[in-house]
Chain A
């Protein structure tokens, strides 16, 4: 079983749609949670950290359920520029942040 699991997609959605990605993790000692975005042939870029109380940043909302070891990302009013791969990242501290990446979910927003 992978430590961090995501549906690889692709999710093909029209502009303006709402789309949700889920992620599950197996290490109950995980302490920090993030969503990164990666464009083709580019580096991963931090989209948002995920807090226990849930957090929102504009059109993006992230939720964490520690009991179920589950993280979600909701994108409202999708834009063409949201097309990318979204990486769920889980970390625990062990001589540095041990980031474990999910396999990524590919999103394609169509006109």
Chain B
């Protein structure tokens, strides 16, 4: 089962709202990722969690707050977003760090619109 599940699939939120994106995988992967993708652009890395610890933050604004409650779950908490944050947010997972050739598998994404 190579599946990464993301919820919700679509989200519309106001600039003063607080919302969360959720991601779940049951492949035993120990690295999980958040990516942001704008139209006609490749995915851009936001955060990497390795063994449930935040290992990489690609200078993401603090209005995005990741959380990894356990090895299967990854959340992205959103607060006070701007319209330019509207994008497709993709979660991915891969096997342990240090394992060369470890492919990443993506969820279907959450299409976020900030109004």
Q: Is the interface of A mostly helix, strand, loop or mixed?
A: strand
Closest A residue to B42 by beta carbon equals A101
Q: Is A1 an interface residue (CB 8 A)?
A: no
Q: Is A97 an interface residue (CB 8 A)?
A: yes
Closest A residue to B107 by beta carbon equals A43
- Of the residues A31, A49, A98, A100, contact of B103 by C-beta under 8 Å: A49
Q: Is B86 an interface residue (CB 8 A)?
A: no
Number of interface residues of B (CB under 8 A): 30
Chain A 61-102: CB-based contact to B (< 8 A → 1; otherwise 0): 000000000000000000000000001000101111111111
Contact A96 B55 (CB under 8 A): yes
Contact B97 A97 (CB under 8 A): yes
- Say yes or no: A95-B43 contact (C-beta < 8 A), given A32-B100, A46-B105, A49-B103: no
Contact B103 A46 (CB under 8 A): yes
Contact A104 B103 (CB under 8 A): no
- Of the residues B41, B98, B106, contact of A43 by C-beta under 8 Å: B106
Interface residues on A, range: 20 to 34
Contact B94 A49 (CB under 8 A): no
For A96, the chain B residues whose CB sits under 8 A away are: 31, 33, 48-50, 55-56, 94, 97
Alpha-carbon gap, A44 to B31, bound state (A): 17
Contact A95 B104 (CB under 8 A): no
Contact B106 A44 (CB under 8 A): yes
For A44, the chain B residues whose CB sits under 8 A away are: 43, 90, 106
Q: Is B69 an interface residue (CB 8 A)?
A: no
Alpha-carbon gap, A94 to B106, bound state (A): 19
Contact B43 A101 (CB under 8 A): yes
Contact A93 B109 (CB under 8 A): no
- Say yes or no: A94-B45 contact (C-beta < 8 A), given A32-B101, A49-B101, A99-B104: no
Chain A 1-45: CB-based contact to B (< 8 A → 1; otherwise 0): 000000000000000000000000000000110100000011111
Additional pairs, 4, CB under 8 Å, beyond known A44-B43, A94-B97, A101-B42: A93-B99, A101-B44, A102-B42, A103-B41
- Contact surface of B with A, Cβ cutoff 8 Å: 31, 33, 41-45, 48-50, 55-56, 88, 90, 92, 94, 97-109, 111
